[in-house]
Amino acid sequence: MSPRHTSIMGVINVTPDSFSDGGRWLDPDVAVARGRELAAAGADLIDVGGESTRPGSTRPPEAEERDRVLPVVSALAQQGYAVSVDTMRATVAQAALEAGAVLVNDVSGGLGDPEMGEMVAQTGARYVVMHWRGLLSDPAATHHYDDVVEDVCAELGERVEALVGQGVREEQLVLDPGFGFSKDASHNWALLAGLDRVVALGLPVLVGTSRKRFLGRLPVRPGAQLPDEPSPADRRDAATAATSLLAAQAGAWAVRVHEVAPTRDALAVWELTQGAARAR
Protein backbone atom coordinates (compact mmCIF):
# COMPACT_ATOMS: atom_id res chain seq x y z
CA MET A 1 0.00 0.00 0.00
CA SER A 2 1.27 3.50 -0.80
CA PRO A 3 1.40 6.02 2.06
CA ARG A 4 -0.42 8.40 -0.28
CA HIS A 5 -3.50 6.37 0.56
CA THR A 6 -3.05 7.07 4.27
CA SER A 7 -4.49 10.46 5.19
CA ILE A 8 -3.17 12.61 8.01
CA MET A 9 -5.62 13.96 10.57
CA GLY A 10 -4.28 16.96 12.48
CA VAL A 11 -5.50 17.46 16.06
CA ILE A 12 -6.77 20.66 17.66
CA ASN A 13 -7.80 20.33 21.30
CA VAL A 14 -9.89 23.36 22.25
CA THR A 15 -9.67 22.38 25.91
CA PRO A 16 -7.88 23.73 28.98
CA ASP A 17 -6.68 20.31 30.13
CA SER A 18 -5.60 18.05 27.26
CA PHE A 19 -2.68 15.79 28.16
CA SER A 20 -0.68 16.87 25.12
CA ASP A 21 -1.21 20.59 24.72
CA GLY A 22 -3.74 21.65 27.34
CA GLY A 23 -4.88 25.22 26.91
CA ARG A 24 -2.74 26.23 23.92
CA TRP A 25 -5.61 26.30 21.43
CA LEU A 26 -8.54 27.23 23.69
CA ASP A 27 -8.98 30.67 22.13
CA PRO A 28 -11.05 30.22 18.92
CA ASP A 29 -8.90 32.56 16.82
CA VAL A 30 -5.73 30.80 17.93
CA ALA A 31 -7.34 27.42 17.23
CA VAL A 32 -8.38 28.46 13.71
CA ALA A 33 -4.86 29.71 13.01
CA ARG A 34 -3.52 26.39 14.28
CA GLY A 35 -5.86 24.55 11.92
CA ARG A 36 -4.46 26.50 9.00
CA GLU A 37 -0.93 25.62 10.13
CA LEU A 38 -1.75 21.92 10.30
CA ALA A 39 -3.30 21.99 6.83
CA ALA A 40 -0.32 23.86 5.40
CA ALA A 41 1.96 21.21 6.92
CA GLY A 42 0.06 18.47 5.09
CA ALA A 43 -2.99 17.54 7.16
CA ASP A 44 -5.85 16.24 5.04
CA LEU A 45 -8.38 16.61 7.86
CA ILE A 46 -8.53 18.83 10.95
CA ASP A 47 -9.99 17.14 14.05
CA VAL A 48 -11.51 19.59 16.54
CA GLY A 49 -12.35 18.41 20.04
CA GLY A 50 -13.72 20.24 23.07
CA GLU A 51 -13.53 17.51 25.72
CA SER A 52 -10.36 16.07 27.21
CA THR A 53 -10.22 12.31 27.75
CA ARG A 54 -7.02 12.33 29.81
CA PRO A 55 -7.09 10.36 33.07
CA GLY A 56 -8.84 12.29 35.83
CA SER A 57 -10.46 14.82 33.51
CA THR A 58 -13.95 16.18 34.24
CA ARG A 59 -16.51 16.30 31.44
CA PRO A 60 -17.51 19.85 30.48
CA PRO A 61 -21.20 20.73 30.31
CA GLU A 62 -22.70 20.24 26.86
CA ALA A 63 -23.15 23.98 26.30
CA GLU A 64 -19.50 24.59 27.11
CA GLU A 65 -18.34 21.89 24.71
CA ARG A 66 -20.48 23.41 21.95
CA ASP A 67 -19.08 26.89 22.64
CA ARG A 68 -15.54 25.57 22.40
CA VAL A 69 -15.99 23.53 19.23
CA LEU A 70 -18.51 25.17 16.94
CA PRO A 71 -16.77 28.50 16.21
CA VAL A 72 -13.60 26.66 15.23
CA VAL A 73 -15.37 24.06 13.09
CA SER A 74 -17.44 26.72 11.36
CA ALA A 75 -14.51 29.03 10.63
CA LEU A 76 -12.26 26.30 9.25
CA ALA A 77 -15.07 24.78 7.16
CA GLN A 78 -15.92 28.19 5.71
CA GLN A 79 -12.27 28.59 4.74
CA GLY A 80 -12.44 25.35 2.76
CA TYR A 81 -10.77 22.89 5.11
CA ALA A 82 -12.05 19.37 5.75
CA VAL A 83 -12.99 19.24 9.44
CA SER A 84 -13.97 16.45 11.79
CA VAL A 85 -15.44 16.85 15.26
CA ASP A 86 -14.15 14.83 18.20
CA THR A 87 -17.14 14.37 20.51
CA MET A 88 -19.13 11.75 22.37
CA ARG A 89 -22.36 13.79 22.33
CA ALA A 90 -24.87 13.42 19.50
CA THR A 91 -26.15 16.99 19.86
CA VAL A 92 -22.64 18.45 19.61
CA ALA A 93 -21.86 16.19 16.66
CA GLN A 94 -25.02 17.22 14.81
CA ALA A 95 -24.37 20.92 15.43
CA ALA A 96 -20.81 20.51 14.15
CA LEU A 97 -22.05 18.72 11.02
CA GLU A 98 -24.48 21.59 10.43
CA ALA A 99 -21.53 23.98 10.86
CA GLY A 100 -19.59 22.19 8.12
CA ALA A 101 -17.85 19.18 9.66
CA VAL A 102 -17.58 16.15 7.39
CA LEU A 103 -16.85 13.42 9.95
CA VAL A 104 -17.70 12.56 13.57
CA ASN A 105 -14.86 11.09 15.64
CA ASP A 106 -16.39 9.41 18.71
CA VAL A 107 -13.96 7.83 21.20
CA SER A 108 -16.87 6.01 22.83
CA GLY A 109 -17.93 4.31 19.60
CA GLY A 110 -21.53 5.31 20.27
CA LEU A 111 -21.58 3.98 23.84
CA GLY A 112 -21.28 7.42 25.42
CA ASP A 113 -24.59 8.69 24.03
CA PRO A 114 -27.46 6.35 23.05
CA GLU A 115 -28.68 8.96 20.54
CA MET A 116 -25.45 8.97 18.53
CA GLY A 117 -26.22 6.00 16.27
CA GLU A 118 -29.61 7.34 15.23
CA MET A 119 -28.13 10.78 14.53
CA VAL A 120 -25.36 9.30 12.38
CA ALA A 121 -27.91 7.21 10.49
CA GLN A 122 -30.15 10.21 9.84
CA THR A 123 -27.39 12.56 8.70
CA GLY A 124 -25.43 9.98 6.70
CA ALA A 125 -22.21 11.38 8.17
CA ARG A 126 -18.98 9.45 8.20
CA TYR A 127 -18.37 8.14 11.69
CA VAL A 128 -15.30 6.88 13.56
CA VAL A 129 -16.06 3.99 15.93
CA MET A 130 -13.29 3.70 18.51
CA HIS A 131 -12.71 0.68 20.72
CA TRP A 132 -13.85 1.80 24.18
CA ARG A 133 -14.43 0.24 27.54
CA GLY A 134 -15.24 3.48 29.32
CA LEU A 135 -13.54 6.78 30.10
CA LEU A 136 -9.94 6.67 31.25
CA SER A 137 -11.09 7.79 34.70
CA ASP A 138 -13.64 4.94 34.91
CA PRO A 139 -12.41 2.10 37.16
CA ALA A 140 -14.75 -0.27 35.32
CA ALA A 141 -12.77 0.27 32.10
CA THR A 142 -10.70 -2.88 32.61
CA HIS A 143 -7.39 -3.70 30.99
CA HIS A 144 -7.84 -7.49 30.87
CA TYR A 145 -7.59 -9.17 27.46
CA ASP A 146 -7.18 -12.79 26.50
CA ASP A 147 -5.70 -11.64 23.18
CA VAL A 148 -5.81 -7.87 22.78
CA VAL A 149 -5.95 -7.89 18.97
CA GLU A 150 -8.60 -10.60 18.81
CA ASP A 151 -10.64 -8.99 21.59
CA VAL A 152 -10.46 -5.49 20.07
CA CYS A 153 -11.53 -6.86 16.67
CA ALA A 154 -14.43 -8.74 18.24
CA GLU A 155 -15.62 -5.75 20.27
CA LEU A 156 -15.35 -3.41 17.29
CA GLY A 157 -17.38 -5.93 15.30
CA GLU A 158 -20.07 -5.84 17.98
CA ARG A 159 -20.22 -2.05 17.78
CA VAL A 160 -20.50 -2.15 13.98
CA GLU A 161 -23.34 -4.65 14.24
CA ALA A 162 -25.15 -2.50 16.80
CA LEU A 163 -24.76 0.68 14.74
CA VAL A 164 -25.95 -1.04 11.56
CA GLY A 165 -28.94 -2.18 13.58
CA GLN A 166 -29.67 1.50 14.27
CA GLY A 167 -29.68 2.25 10.56
CA VAL A 168 -26.06 3.31 10.01
CA ARG A 169 -24.64 2.08 6.72
CA GLU A 170 -21.32 0.22 6.89
CA GLU A 171 -19.80 2.55 4.31
CA GLN A 172 -20.20 5.41 6.80
CA LEU A 173 -17.99 3.69 9.36
CA VAL A 174 -14.30 4.00 10.20
CA LEU A 175 -12.73 1.82 12.90
CA ASP A 176 -10.26 2.99 15.54
CA PRO A 177 -8.58 0.35 17.75
CA GLY A 178 -8.29 2.87 20.58
CA PHE A 179 -4.60 3.01 21.47
CA GLY A 180 -4.16 4.03 25.09
CA PHE A 181 -7.80 3.52 26.03
CA SER A 182 -8.27 0.65 28.51
CA LYS A 183 -4.87 -0.65 27.41
CA ASP A 184 -1.45 -0.73 29.03
CA ALA A 185 1.84 -0.42 27.15
CA SER A 186 2.09 -4.13 26.33
CA HIS A 187 -1.41 -4.09 24.87
CA ASN A 188 -0.58 -1.06 22.74
CA TRP A 189 2.58 -2.64 21.31
CA ALA A 190 0.75 -5.90 20.59
CA LEU A 191 -2.08 -4.01 18.92
CA LEU A 192 0.36 -2.08 16.77
CA ALA A 193 2.06 -5.33 15.75
CA GLY A 194 -1.31 -6.88 14.87
CA LEU A 195 -2.85 -3.84 13.21
CA ASP A 196 -3.18 -5.66 9.90
CA ARG A 197 -5.81 -7.88 11.57
CA VAL A 198 -7.89 -4.79 12.39
CA VAL A 199 -7.51 -3.59 8.80
CA ALA A 200 -8.59 -7.06 7.61
CA LEU A 201 -12.03 -6.44 9.13
CA GLY A 202 -12.70 -4.61 5.87
CA LEU A 203 -13.52 -1.09 7.03
CA PRO A 204 -11.23 1.97 6.93
CA VAL A 205 -9.04 2.22 10.04
CA LEU A 206 -7.97 5.37 11.88
CA VAL A 207 -4.90 5.05 14.12
CA GLY A 208 -4.31 7.52 16.95
CA THR A 209 -1.04 6.81 18.75
CA SER A 210 0.06 10.44 18.84
CA ARG A 211 1.96 11.39 21.99
CA LYS A 212 0.42 8.51 23.94
CA ARG A 213 2.14 7.59 27.20
CA PHE A 214 3.54 4.29 25.91
CA LEU A 215 5.59 6.24 23.34
CA GLY A 216 7.18 8.22 26.16
CA ARG A 217 8.92 5.19 27.66
CA LEU A 218 11.44 4.04 25.06
CA PRO A 219 14.92 2.61 25.73
CA VAL A 220 17.90 4.89 25.17
CA ARG A 221 19.57 2.08 23.21
CA PRO A 222 18.51 -1.42 22.11
CA GLY A 223 18.16 -3.74 25.07
CA ALA A 224 18.37 -0.97 27.63
CA GLN A 225 15.92 -0.78 30.52
CA LEU A 226 12.85 1.38 29.99
CA PRO A 227 12.91 4.69 31.84
CA ASP A 228 10.84 4.94 35.01
CA GLU A 229 9.17 8.17 33.93
CA PRO A 230 7.82 8.94 30.46
CA SER A 231 9.17 11.84 28.45
CA PRO A 232 6.97 14.97 28.15
CA ALA A 233 4.14 14.63 25.65
CA ASP A 234 5.58 17.19 23.23
CA ARG A 235 8.79 15.14 22.93
CA ARG A 236 7.03 12.08 21.55
CA ASP A 237 6.50 13.29 17.98
CA ALA A 238 9.38 11.27 16.48
CA ALA A 239 7.97 8.09 18.02
CA THR A 240 4.53 9.12 16.78
CA ALA A 241 5.88 9.43 13.24
CA ALA A 242 7.39 5.94 13.49
CA THR A 243 4.11 4.41 14.63
CA SER A 244 2.23 6.35 11.96
CA LEU A 245 4.50 4.83 9.33
CA LEU A 246 3.89 1.36 10.74
CA ALA A 247 0.15 2.07 10.65
CA ALA A 248 0.35 3.16 7.02
CA GLN A 249 2.30 0.03 6.13
CA ALA A 250 -0.43 -2.05 7.77
CA GLY A 251 -3.03 -0.36 5.57
CA ALA A 252 -4.50 2.34 7.82
CA TRP A 253 -6.88 4.79 6.19
CA ALA A 254 -5.63 7.68 8.31
CA VAL A 255 -3.38 8.55 11.23
CA ARG A 256 -4.28 11.15 13.86
CA VAL A 257 -1.37 13.34 15.00
CA HIS A 258 -0.70 16.52 16.96
CA GLU A 259 2.30 17.57 14.83
CA VAL A 260 1.88 16.87 11.15
CA ALA A 261 5.38 17.48 9.74
CA PRO A 262 7.21 14.49 11.30
CA THR A 263 4.54 12.04 10.11
CA ARG A 264 4.32 13.72 6.71
CA ASP A 265 8.09 13.30 6.29
CA ALA A 266 8.05 9.68 7.47
CA LEU A 267 5.37 8.80 4.92
CA ALA A 268 7.23 10.73 2.21
CA VAL A 269 10.44 8.78 2.89
CA TRP A 270 8.55 5.52 2.45
CA GLU A 271 6.85 6.73 -0.72
CA LEU A 272 10.08 7.90 -2.34
CA THR A 273 11.88 4.69 -1.37
CA GLN A 274 9.10 2.59 -2.86
CA GLY A 275 9.20 4.71 -6.01
CA ALA A 276 12.94 4.19 -6.37
CA ALA A 277 12.54 0.45 -5.83
CA ARG A 278 9.89 0.22 -8.55
CA ALA A 279 12.12 2.16 -10.96
CA ARG A 280 15.02 -0.27 -10.62
The reply to whether 256 belongs to the active site is yes
The reply to whether 236 belongs to the active site is no
Q: Alpha-carbon distance 203 to 247, whole Å?
A: 14
Q: Alpha-carbon distance 36 to 28, whole Å?
A: 12
Return the HEC string of 158-220.
Answer: HHHHHHHHCCCCHHHEEEECCCCCCCCHHHHHHHHHCHHHHHCCCCCEEECCCCCHHHHCCCC
CA atoms within 13 A on the CB side of 33: 7
Element containing residue 67 per DSSP (H, E): helix 62-78
Closest CA to 105 of 192, 14, 173, 17: 173
Instruction: Count Cβ atoms within 10 A of the Cβ of residue 197 and give its class: 0-12 exposed, 13-18 middle, 19 or more buried.
Output: middle
Closest CA to 58 of 95, 15, 94, 24: 15
188-190-193 Cα angle (round to 5): 110
User: Looking at 68, 133, 211, 256, which residue is catalytic?
Assistant: 256
User: Looking at 212, 217, 221, 264, which residue is catalytic?
Assistant: 212
Q: Alpha-carbon distance 70 to 82, whole Å?
A: 14
Q: Alpha-carbon distance 36 to 109, whole Å?
A: 28
Q: Alpha-carbon distance 203 to 11, whole Å?
A: 22
Catalytic residues: 212, 256
